[in-house]
Amino acid sequence: MIKKLYLHNILDSCNIVYKKNIPNVPIHRAQDLSAKEKNFISFFNNPKYLNLLKISQARAVIIPQKFIKYLPKKIIPILSNYPDIDYAKVLNFFYPDSYFTKISYNNLSPQDISKKYKNIKFGINFYLETGVKIGRNVFIGNNVTIKKDCVIGNNVNIGSNVVLENSIIYDNVHICDGSVIGKKGFGFKFIKNKCIRIPHIGKVIINKGCEIGSNCVIDRGSIKNTIIGENTFIDNLVQIAHNVVIGKRCILASQVGIAGSTYIGDNVVIGGQAGISGHLIIGNNVKIGGKSGVIKNIDDNKVVMGYPAKSFREFVKDNNK
Amino acid sequence: MIKKLYLHNILDSCNIVYKKNIPNVPIHRAQDLSAKEKNFISFFNNPKYLNLLKISQARAVIIPQKFIKYLPKKIIPILSNYPDIDYAKVLNFFYPDSYFTKISYNNLSPQDISKKYKNIKFGINFYLETGVKIGRNVFIGNNVTIKKDCVIGNNVNIGSNVVLENSIIYDNVHICDGSVIGKKGFGFKFIKNKCIRIPHIGKVIINKGCEIGSNCVIDRGSIKNTIIGENTFIDNLVQIAHNVVIGKRCILASQVGIAGSTYIGDNVVIGGQAGISGHLIIGNNVKIGGKSGVIKNIDDNKVVMGYPAKSFREFVKDNNK
Amino acid sequence: MIKKLYLHNILDSCNIVYKKNIPNVPIHRAQDLSAKEKNFISFFNNPKYLNLLKISQARAVIIPQKFIKYLPKKIIPILSNYPDIDYAKVLNFFYPDSYFTKISYNNLSPQDISKKYKNIKFGINFYLETGVKIGRNVFIGNNVTIKKDCVIGNNVNIGSNVVLENSIIYDNVHICDGSVIGKKGFGFKFIKNKCIRIPHIGKVIINKGCEIGSNCVIDRGSIKNTIIGENTFIDNLVQIAHNVVIGKRCILASQVGIAGSTYIGDNVVIGGQAGISGHLIIGNNVKIGGKSGVIKNIDDNKVVMGYPAKSFREFVKDNNK
């Protein structure tokens, strides 16, 4: 994925205007501000992440004029009125298919598959892109699509009509029929009535022993990853948005929805049809009643219910008036 | 689709009782009262549509005795105690598969497809019925079913396991994995404990630049069309019922549901898991909070939340008591 | 499915500790306490089912020490600290794939299918396991998976991308694209941070004239069956959990969710996005408003709405204050 490229070429290719006096350094990747590597470009548009900017290893950062004062001297500034849009263009340059759901059409033939994956049981009509890694004792259903860069552990059971993309599935995971894992997140920007789709280059990571029900959708992260902790059980028709992190041994009943970038602790139980807003922190051992609408952070060990969700005691009291 | 047929034959075929003295005129189609063509039959059972009846071009109308006084003289009356059931029979006569979800089994061979659609990228195992039109630079995933009469524009991206029926998809639309577009709507009548399925002959029209998430369902219209406006973005697991019309640049978050025949303006933002009842009018620039239940019309520019939905200010006030 | 086996062997195979002095009787099956057959093993862990225990025909019952006093003398006790876990092991012994969603890979070739099912219309790429029975005038879409032991009646219409498992589908049923019927229920136990998946050996029974929308999920029963009554209509994206029983002529709008073991009477109408908790009884002719959250039993003929659901009159009054 790493290409030998220089800053000026990249900005030119992306139609991003820049001051010609900025140094034309090598840039090999677009990355999160916090990445630990060399020669990458990033962006900054939210003072909340100021601490990350201050210690960032980025070589160049796309940034609006008003925040330029925060930029460390060693980082090259690329001034922009729409830093996230321009960064989307750069991501798209490095990962040209990352705002699509499309397959690569670079798949193995049935013969190659049976040779390469000797010990895997496949149903009929499987589609595997090159580069997929699959462990031992794996059972795969019919009409399954597994896209490049997916990694599947041992003792995994994948149902029929499942689509896997940008996903790492650890041992003993079951994914039931019809679920879509690793789809691009729901990200876009309207600029003057024109819509720009935001690339999603993160992954979905499903840790050991998890279960994902039928007809669920788990979106991959935008830049970071969407993560499901060990032994977490998810029922049918559940939506997990991009960048969500769920802890260990959680239980999500059917039709639950979790919006983007929310963090959920360990041993959390979420009743059917409950919804959790984006960018929240839900503590460990929290219990959320069915159909609740959670719009605030929740501390460890709390039991909540209602819309908006409040303590279970209050919910009962309010409804017995 | 037009057949040379006469009124008496049609009514006989449908087991609809009629007065033998009505003229046996040619009837070539069953249509909405407002249709602009010749020789069609329609029905009337709701005084709300009286203005349409008065100027209707219909040749014959199925109508109950109590409304016969409203019927223009030039239209032939077919008296009925159950006008919608009898009209369903007539629709079924003209469009015999329109209350099924079934495929026609009239599909092209892989050889014919690669000849006819030279510039389209298909995944494995695609099913295309005859008569489908597809534009340039279109990417189609695996296990996709596209039924007759679908039209697909340029630069369209269709994910895997998608089913398309009675649909017109304009340029630059993305439809993600597992979505079902153009399914018959949820329509039926119980008459004396027997269930009559209502045919659905409308289309789904998805305008330029839209995005439909994964595992969504968009039902086709009953007689009119279900329409999604330009650049509208729809997240995963969303339900759009028959005859719904959505404007331009709307955003529907995950697990939203919109019941039949509701009209939604431009630039409307609908939070996750919100539901909107049927036959409502939602104005332009409206914002509907996550998990709201909307049961009334909403004026332009309003921000609402709650169940039932009220102004956002009231919702906040009520929940801070 | 019946194996000639003896109690000691079964317990040894399952790593269940038992008193060596219990008689080594023949055991041919694991069953519900109420089963009407010979030589089966069951379990007891809930005093609610005491009446069933007293008249049970079981040969042996897995039971905790505290309930041993209730056990009829003629039944052999297997003492256990975790009766449901140990029973899960026994179920797994008899039905080794019952906690998976996986296919058996024991499917017919296209040639065998066209020979055996001469009068059935299949789409492309169907997967049929041996032992499936299909009636007359049945239409099946593309990419359909039908697993062993399914029985399908006459005049049935199955959409594309449908998965059927452990299901009995009676005459005139329509199942729309993308639905998953007969998936194992959402059952598991955490014992000391280790997760035990519970086998599900029940069926889904869909009676005459029903309709199931697109992208729905209906889970099969754990030991009993999940049942949908005659002429019941279910819209898209609906979740029906294990052991649910729904009566005749019910209407479930889109995105409804019904939790495990709930019983719903005849002629019940449930609005879109409503949710019903588990283990409830909903009477005949009940109407449940859209988005309601039902957490208590409902008597016949009631109309309810709200979260939590209350009488419709109260709901309206409360929201007009």
Rounded to an integer, the average pLDDT of B275-297 is 97
Question: By CA distance, what is C191's nearest residue in A?
Answer: A249
- Nearest Cα of chain C lies from the Cα of A113 at a distance, in angstroms, of 17
Whether residue C85 sits in one domain with residue C154: no
Report how far residue C178's alpha carbon sits from residue C311's, in angstroms, rounded to the nearest whole number: 35
Residue A108 falls inside a structural domain: no
C87-105 pLDDT, tens digit each = 999 998 998 888 887 899 9
Report how far residue A155's alpha carbon sits from residue A173's, in angstroms, rounded to the nearest whole number: 7
Number of neighbouring beta carbons within 10 Å of residue A3 = 12
Contact A236 C180 (CB under 8 A): yes
C121 interaction partners in chain B (CB closer than 8 Å): 105
Q: To probe the interface with B, which of C139, C177, C294, C319 has the most B CB atoms within 10 Å?
A: C177
- Nearest Cα of chain B lies from the Cα of A118 at a distance, in angstroms, of 22
What would the 3-class secondary structure string for chain A be? CCCCCEHHHHHHHCCCCCCCCCCCCECCEECCCCCCCCCEEEECCCHHHHHHHHCCCCCEEEECHHHHHHCCCCCEEEECCCHHHHHHHHHHHHCCCCCCCCCCCCECCHHHHHHHCCCCECCCCCEEECCCEECCCCEECCCCEECCCCEECCCCEECCCCEECCEEECCCCEECCCCEEEECCCCEEEECCEEEECCCCCCEEECCCCEECCCCEEECCCCCCEEECCCCEECCCCEECCCCEECCCCEECCCCEECCCCEECCCCEECCCCEECCCCEECCCCEECCCCEECCCECCCCEEEECCEEEHHHHHHHCCC
Q: Among B103, B87, B71, which residue's Cα sits nearest to residue B29?
A: B87
Residue B36 falls inside a structural domain: yes
User: pLDDT at residue C120 above 80?
Assistant: yes
Show the CA angle centred on residue C143, arms to residues A185 and B151, nearest 5°: 65
C172-229 pLDDT, tens digit each = 999 999 999 999 999 888 877 777 888 899 999 999 999 999 999 999 998 889 999 9
- Which letter, b or e, does each residue of A89-108 get, where b requires 16 or more Cβ atoms within 10 Å of its Cβ? bbbbbbeebbbbbbbbeebb
pLDDT value for B164: 98
By CB neighbour count within 10 A (0-12 exposed, 13-18 middle, 19+ buried), where does B55 fall? exposed
Q: What is the CATH number of the domain that holds A42?
A: 3.40.1390.10
Q: Alpha helix (H) ranges present in B171-224? A: none
A288 interaction partners in chain B (CB closer than 8 Å): none
User: pLDDT at residue B188 above 90?
Assistant: no
- Nearest Cα of chain A lies from the Cα of C317 at a distance, in angstroms, of 14
**Residue among B100, B180, B194 whose CB faces C214 most closely:** B180
Give how far Cα B65 sits from Cα of B16, B78, B191, C74, Å. 15, 9, 19, 72
Residue C7 backbone phi and psi in degrees, to 5: -50, -50
Whether residue B88 sits in one domain with residue B119: no
Which is the catalytic residue, given A28, A174, A242, A279?
A: A242
- Nearest Cα of chain C lies from the Cα of B20 at a distance, in angstroms, of 34
Contact B195 C249 (CB under 8 A): yes
Contact A101 B307 (CB under 8 A): no
pLDDT value for A96: 84
User: pLDDT at residue C1 above 60?
Assistant: no
Q: How far is CA B247 from the centre of its chain?
A: 15
pLDDT band with cut points at 50, 70 and 90 for residue B2? very low
Whether residue A44 sits in one domain with residue A173: no
- Which letter, b or e, does each residue of C220-259 get, where b requires 16 or more Cβ atoms within 10 Å of its Cβ? bbbbbbbbbbbbbbbbbbbbbbbbbbbbbbbbbbbbbbbb
pLDDT value for C2: 47
pLDDT band with cut points at 50, 70 and 90 for residue A3? low
Whether residue C256 sits in one domain with residue C190: yes
Q: Of A94, A128, A151, which one is at a domain's C-terminal end? A: A94
Residue B105 falls inside a structural domain: no
Report how far residue C194's alpha carbon sits from residue A209's, in angstroms, rounded to the nearest whole number: 9
Residue C125 falls inside a structural domain: yes
Give how far Cα C184 sits from Cα of A139, A157, B202, Å. 16, 13, 36
Q: What is the CATH number of the domain that holds B280?
A: 2.160.10.10
Whether residue B225 sits in one domain with residue B126: yes
Q: Of B94, B121, B148, which one is at a domain's C-terminal end? A: B94
Q: Of C43, C68, C94, which one is at a domain's C-terminal end? A: C94
Whether residue A88 sits in one domain with residue A120: no
Contact C161 A142 (CB under 8 A): no
Whether residue B135 sits in one domain with residue B46: no
A221-231 pLDDT, tens digit each = 988 899 999 99
Q: Is A242 a catalytic residue?
A: yes
C147-185 pLDDT, tens digit each = 988 999 999 999 999 999 999 999 999 999 999 999 999
Residue B101 falls inside a structural domain: no
Whether residue B14 sits in one domain with residue B124: no
Residue A173 falls inside a structural domain: yes
B15-36 pLDDT, tens digit each = 999 998 999 999 999 988 988 8
Q: Identify whether B308 is preceded by a cis peptide bond (ω within 30 of 0).
A: yes
- Nearest Cα of chain C lies from the Cα of A225 at a distance, in angstroms, of 25
- The structural domain count of chain B equals 2
Contact B259 C176 (CB under 8 A): no
In this predicted structure, which of A26-30, A31-35, B215-219 has the lowest mean pLDDT? A31-35
Residue C256 falls inside a structural domain: yes
Whether residue A124 sits in one domain with residue A45: no
A273 interaction partners in chain C (CB closer than 8 Å): 257, 273, 275, 293
User: pLDDT at residue A1 above 80?
Assistant: no
Question: By CA distance, what is C232's nearest residue in B?
Answer: B195
C105 interaction partners in chain A (CB closer than 8 Å): 121, 123
Whether residue B71 sits in one domain with residue B170: no
**Residue among C233, C254, C319 whose CB faces B188 most closely:** C233
DSSP H or E run through B179: none
Question: By CA distance, what is B309's nearest residue in C?
Answer: C319
pLDDT band with cut points at 50, 70 and 90 for residue A37? confident
Residue B99 falls inside a structural domain: no
Whether residue B138 sits in one domain with residue B36: no
A69-111 pLDDT, tens digit each = 999 999 999 999 999 899 999 998 998 888 887 899 999 998 9
Half-sphere exposure of B274 (CA within 13 A, CB side): 25
User: Which other chains touch chain A, taking contact as 3+ CB pairs less than 8 Å apart?
Assistant: B, C
pLDDT value for C3: 52
Whether residue C216 sits in one domain with residue C89: no
Q: To probe the interface with B, which of A163, A255, A314 has the most B CB atoms within 10 Å?
A: A163
Domain encompassing residue C79: 7-94
